[in-house]
A = this chain, B = another copy of it.
């Protein structure tokens, strides 16, 4: 348990695929609900997303999982006993929260914020196991929200006018990245040996 794990090329490829596919599914919800709008489309679209989006989420997911494993995150007993069930529950939780951020678009700002942060806290409380998980949640939030702020300031995409903002991005965005960061750290551990 205290041995440092390692994540191989197969594990990194799986993390990339999970991140890219999950990003495409979630971004489809945001685009179709009008939550986000692409303002520039230099690259081809995949489903509703500009090509750079799934590549970026996939790469970030692989990097974050790698970091979690390198920093010594270890599996819980439940995860060891039933890795597939754990992974399915984690991925479904984050996708449900992603879709929820699209559902709350028409609601008053406070309702969407309270609901999304509460659900994110439930996901973290359910799945976080290691201190490293919270570090990964913080990294995901800083770099993920940071990247979205830069891209929206550069007018690459924007959040709809009626979405409550925090520096140009949705106020519920950190909640989504926090839950995502914890889950990716856990998936990294599940895919390491």
Contacts and interface: CB of A to CB of B under 8 A. Distances in A.
Contact of A95 (B100, B103, B114): B114
Nearest to A88: B125
Complex copy number for this chain: 3
A88 B121 contact: yes
B109 A32 contact: yes
A181 to B, nearest CB: 16
Contact of A118 (B32, B99, B108): B99
A98 B28 CA distance: 23
A108 B23 CA distance: 17
For the side of the interface on A, what is the size category? 35 or more
Interface of A: 25-26, 28-29, 32-33, 48, 85-86, 88-89, 91-93, 95-96, 98-100, 102-104, 107-111, 114-115, 118-119, 121-122, 124-126, 128
A63 B102 CA distance: 38
Contacts of A33: 107-108, 111
A85 B111 CA distance: 24
Nearest to A87: B125
10 contacts: A29-B114, A33-B107, A86-B125, A88-B125, A89-B122, A89-B125, A91-B121, A102-B111, A103-B103, A103-B111
A118 B96 contact: yes
